[in-house]
Structure 1
Amino acid sequence: MDYKDYYKALGVEKTATAEQIKKAYRKLARQHHPDVNPNDKSAEQKFKDINEAHEVLSDPEKRKKYDQFGADWQRYQQQPSGAGRGGQPGGGFDWSQYTQGGGGFGQGGQFGEGEDFSDFFSSLFGGMGGGGRRAGGGGTRPGAGADYQAELELSLEEAYHGGPRTITVNGKNLRLNIQPGVADGQTIRLRDQGGPGRNGGPNGSLLITFRITPDARYVRTGDDLTQDVPVSIYKALLGGEQTVETLSGPVKIKLKPETQNGTRLRLRGKGFPVYKHPGQFGDLYLRLTLTLPQHLTPQEKELIQQLAALRPED
């Protein structure tokens, strides 16, 4: 059984942080995903290798065990050929600590067709049991399937309203009912929609991460929204009503006379829905920006000059 370099599979250094590993995995998973490379066996194998590497390096306990194994493997490889290096690792190392049940180093059967993890992973993390087969000859141990990861892009309005969406993963169409108020970067888990279980084990999960596209009208902060509202200089000076478009529909606001540029108004409950709390909403903050008239007529200029004369600058 050959040693697998999971760091090399993801293209990261051994000192990589959890965030760097996650970023590298996402990039490679998108590049080699079977949906992007249909009928490409090499891409399919690469995708499996990437998932296996991420399964180990994203788990602190698995990564710690893998790093320790890698150090011992390197020491073993550096031994002279007469120091117990034959067909199986030796040379005084206790390899049984890396196999389930201590039954030897990667001995015994292979995974069947379509399995997600390699013999190397199985020997290290228990998919094959001690020696690969049980004493009763009942085959390899059951194991959970791999978790799949996918991203779903939503507009701000789609995230606001929620509702049904369809996502395709590994050629399979899945219908989702998105709860209103999902956030950018939020991940949900769909159990039993990941890789197939091994030898009767449970299927893995599908982890879907939401990506909310920026909206030109609103800035979202948690469950609150901020919106710029243009107001004519005349309405700002004299006061009046202003219609504001919100994600829940138009709302009329009253402006006081002599409203200043940059004034902020708060509309309670007109922000974003609170995730999984029906009926609860954040607030909408309006930032009033005064607009100046353009292409003035001679008469308008004359009137403005008269107004300026009545209020000379200090």
Structure 2
Amino acid sequence: MLLLRFCLFCAIVLTLAPLIAFIDARTAAFQAIALHLAALSALLAVPLLIYRRRLWAIAGMLAALWNIALAWPSIAANVTAAFADQPKGRALKVISFNLSYDNPGFGKTVDFLAKSGADVIGLSEVTPEAKAALGKLKEIYPHSIDCIGQDRFCELMLLSKKPLRYSFAGKIGPKLTYIASADLDWQGSAVSVAVAHIVLPFVKPDWEPLQTWIAADDPSPLLPKTPVLWQSMQMAVLAGYARSLGRDQIVMGDFNSAPWSDVQTAFRAATWLDNRGPLVPTWPAQLPPPLRVPIDSVFVGGGLSLRDVHAGPDLGSDHLPVIAEIGSKRVIAEAE
């Protein structure tokens, strides 16, 4: 019984930790495990209720409800997406995948991507060795943009079956924020596609190694109601860049945050992008799905909508690839 109460106490502390982000912004990172904390709190509350530890049981259920309320916008959007009318016509298939610097080999990744049927692939944590291995995909994906090897901090790559226009890969602003992006033609109109990789949520902007990499006067943009973290500032830079792209756009990558987090909520509010659809737990790949966190996302905006989103297989990375089929809302409008 003592163990149950201790575990519930820890779950409640982690649930409330983001509320003190004004003291230490890194506590906001625990928002990512809201669903895990909800399930754990509810499960612990049941035996405590059976053993008549009512106050503890009530505390556990309140903690569960608090976490569910935090994630509810994403859960509701997931349910809505599941029952919504799906766009007609051919979907644009994209894959977003963090290869991982520690990936022991790239053979499985290359084989998977070659057989995936994706139109566009966004990759992060691409090393020069990984780029060389991905060269085998040139016949299938003749169009690409990256800055691997050109900048020590750039590890992004965009591959496409379709010709790319206005392609760019590199630094887009302060706080070492990078992007690989381009426009492509789809269903008679231009679609802007970009891949990004946002830093972990535990890094404060005054982190000492960061000061050795960037200038002391590097600006620190911040979106409203976001914790003062390096991650939040990169998301603010990314939001500004997204607003410079065409209205129909896809922004994918490893965002190191959950869809219900403060940074993603603010990012959606600052752009016309949305990713609140099917939740896809992607990290860590080696754990079963209920224990993973959905930190890899595909955002779409303008006349685009997510038709289907799911995780791919384990390819040796600590992340699973995200596979998304994207439809055009205009097709439904024209059909109606």
Q: Which has the higher helix share?
A: 2
**Which of the pair has the greater relative contact order for Cα pairs under 8 Å at 6+ separation?**
2
Same fold (TM over 0.5): no
**TM-score, length of structure 1 as denominator length:** 0.21
Bigger-Rg structure (1/2): 1
**TM-score, length of structure 2 as denominator length:** 0.20
